[in-house]
Chains A and B, each alone.
Chain A
Amino acid sequence: MVCLVTFSVFRGSIQIFSYEGVIGFLTGTDWNAVEGRESFGALPYIVGTLASSAIAMVIGVPISLGIATFVSEMSPPRLAAPISFVIELLAAVPSIIYGLWALFVFRFWIRDLIEMPLYNAFHGSLPIFAKYPFGLDLFTAGIVLAIMIIPIISSICREVMRVVPNSQREAAYSLGATRWEAVRIAVFPYAKAGILGAAILGLGRAVGETILVTLVIGNVIGIAAIPTTLFSQSQTLSSLIANEFNEASSDLHLSALIGLGAVLLILTMIINIGARLLVRKMVKVPTGEKGRR
């Protein structure tokens, strides 16, 4: 299967790589599909993808850990079950629904409650806030991606934390740890590999997410898609594919879009394989002891 995927993606993109050259395609910033003046470069969208995913991770991972910690370590059992259920439901909501909601509802919250105040306060002093925000930009895309990956990351983290043996928590408590300190010194280190795995899975989702991003990121092309501020419009690899695929004017244009897919494929493979190696390398802890509940 993986071979089939890889094979088809690369077969479809051969044309563009031979036209622009691998390096040229990866580092080019032009995007012009007009016949006779074709020029395709993927760099802005690679940057856009990484930037939006980075925002999603920075916001999503701490919140996910907070949720997992609350559900697994702090809340009374009676509360934990319904919260977990709601989180699982959130994980099941299709991304198009998140996109629709973000486009018609959430972006106004973001613009009015977060972006405008930041802009008003810092647009003169901090360059990353120096653009008048519309709500359809990199920052919104990042936050909505975070909302989308939080349920995934937090439910896996919760599972991982639940299997930490109680003896570890008790060891910490017996040394006079508060609840948070027990989580910090006994639960997190023990569950570290699993938590990292969950975060990487979330990153994979954020990098590959398409539809949600096309609806809120602003969809600019060419050099303009390299964001200069947090509130710039941008474009990701996948959103550009989705936006232009049905309007592709030539085989070369189509091949360029599939080429973006190839870059995306490699990016997610690197993330995936890298994560697995990293997790395998981390300290192996004995399992089999019974965890909480």
Chain B
Amino acid sequence: MSSKERKNYRMILHEEMKKRYRTRIITDNLVTVFALVCVVAAIIPLGSILLEVIKNGASALSFEFLTAPQGSIGSGKGGIGPAIQGTIIVVGLASLIATPVGVLAGIYLSEFAGNGIFPTVVRFLNNILTGLPSIVIGIVGYVTIVLFLGSFSVWAGALSLSIIMMPIVVIVTEETLRIVPHSLREAGYALGISKAKITMNIVLTTAKSGVLTGIGLGIARIAGETAPLIMTILGTSLFFSGLEGPVDALPLRIWRLASQPYESAHAFGWGAALILILMVLGMNVGLRLLARKKGFTVRAEA
């Protein structure tokens, strides 16, 4: 290859490149604008949702609204007391079931399981579980508990919600524990501490805030679930009457209120939505800010 040939290519190619240059710059600008428009388009709904929920919800708020049971249909009297109480009971019970099991499974996967066939299968199934529609999980609660006990019940709702929450806790726990540097564990081994103790005292303590954040996000997630509750706790306008009986929940109440033809019901729906969004977003914002301060990131899909 001679020097002349190379010069030749340079001229041909650079001439050709000059011709396309303008189109490329225009494309680049168009894409940038498109990306910016996408961002704006995504932010508009959040703005509008917050605005509407606050605007319509605030007027419904009162002490009676927060504590009293619902008045007769269409009357516009009463409140969503049972729904708030029910959400707290069902979600609380669900997290009591899901947290220990999820955290232990996460510890097992991260610290003891290695990469054999069994843990791989467990991880795979766990991932599948996160992808299952919540209404299908509601069917589980219905078939196993409602049919068995013969009544819609808190137990069924809590079981369904815990099935939704558990895989989230497993994933977050496993991933947080994995970030704990190996040198910390080795320091423990060097002191002759048993593996179980290292896991409990060193690894888990280091990863505590990460795991807690994961649990918190899991709780926020199930607090907003509606579909599985339809077929498990049914929803009622009465207060809690025992774990074997039906109970109400905020998302369920919003759904029922929104489906009614009365303006007053819709206003109640917005009020309930305000309470729910305050609970869920409040938890999210708080936990994420805390996580950011402590310097770890949280998986988006949790």
Contact = CB atoms under 8 A, between A and B. Distances in A.
Interface in A88-106: 88-101, 103-106
B145 to A, nearest CB: 10
Contact of A91 (B24, B27, B300): B300
Contact of B42 (A90, A156, A242, A264): A90
Contacts of A150: 42
Given A96-B224, A178-B24, A204 B131 contact: yes
Contacts of A126: none
A12 B145 CA distance: 12
A96 B139 contact: no
A9 interface: yes
Contacts of A245: 230-231
A246 B28 CA distance: 54
Contacts of A62: 38
Given A70-B39, A89-B284, A210-B135, A96 B46 contact: no
Contacts of A176: 17
A104 B45 contact: no
A87 interface: yes
A229 interface: no
Given A63-B41, A88-B284, A152-B300, A201 B251 contact: no
Given A93-B277, A97-B224, A155 B140 contact: no
Interface string B207-234: 0000000000100110111110011001
A2 interface: yes
Given A5-B136, A211-B251, A90 B46 contact: yes
A276 interface: yes
Interface stretch (B3-11, B71-79, B184-192, B268-276): B268-276
B143 interface: yes
In this complex, which of A67, A264, A271 has the most chain B Cβ atoms within 10 angstroms of its Cβ? A67
A166 interface: no
Contacts of A193: none
A85 interface: yes
B261 to A, nearest CB: 12
Contacts of A271: 131
A261 interface: yes
Contacts of A5: 129, 132, 136-137, 140, 163
Contacts of A98: 45, 49
In this complex, which of A70, A96, A103 has the most chain B Cβ atoms within 10 angstroms of its Cβ? A96
A250 interface: no
A69 interface: yes
Contact of A2 (B36, B53, B125, B259): B125
A258 B258 contact: no
Given A92-B280, A92-B281, A2 B301 contact: no
B166 A1 contact: yes
B178 interface: no
A1 B37 contact: no
A282 to B, nearest CB: 17
Contacts of A207: 133
Nearest to A266: B136
B255 interface: yes
Nearest to B257: A100
A150 B40 CA distance: 12
B53 A179 contact: no
Interface string B233-269: 0100000000000000001001100110000001001
Given A67-B38, A93-B49, A100-B270, A208 B134 contact: yes
B59 interface: no
Interface string B46-87: 101100110010000000000000000000000000000000
A242 B25 contact: no
A9 B135 contact: no
Given A66-B37, A74-B32, A99 B258 contact: yes
B251 A94 contact: yes
A163 to B, nearest CB: 12
B12 interface: no
Contact of A211 (B32, B132, B226): B226
A101 B140 contact: no
A96 B140 contact: no
A100 B45 CA distance: 12
B178 to A, nearest CB: 14
A83 interface: yes
17 contacts: A1-B125, A2-B129, A65-B38, A66-B39, A67-B38, A69-B31, A70-B38, A89-B284, A92-B221, A96-B224, A97-B224, A103-B258, A178-B25, A178-B28, A242-B227, A258-B139, A272-B128
Interface pairs A-B: 10 shortest CB-CB:
A208-B133, A94-B224, A66-B38, A155-B300, A70-B35, A210-B227, A178-B28, A8-B143, A180-B31, A211-B226
Interface of A: 1-2, 4-5, 8-9, 11-12, 62-67, 69-71, 74, 83, 85-101, 103-106, 147, 150-152, 154-156, 159, 176, 178-181, 183, 201, 204, 207-211, 214-215, 238, 241-242, 245-246, 258, 261, 264-265, 268-269, 271-273, 276
Given A1-B125, A101-B45, A106-B48, 17 more contacts: A5-B137, A5-B163, A70-B32, A88-B284, A90-B42, A94-B277, A94-B280, A96-B251, A99-B255, A104-B52, A178-B24, A210-B226, A241-B231, A246-B231, A268-B131, A272-B128, A273-B128
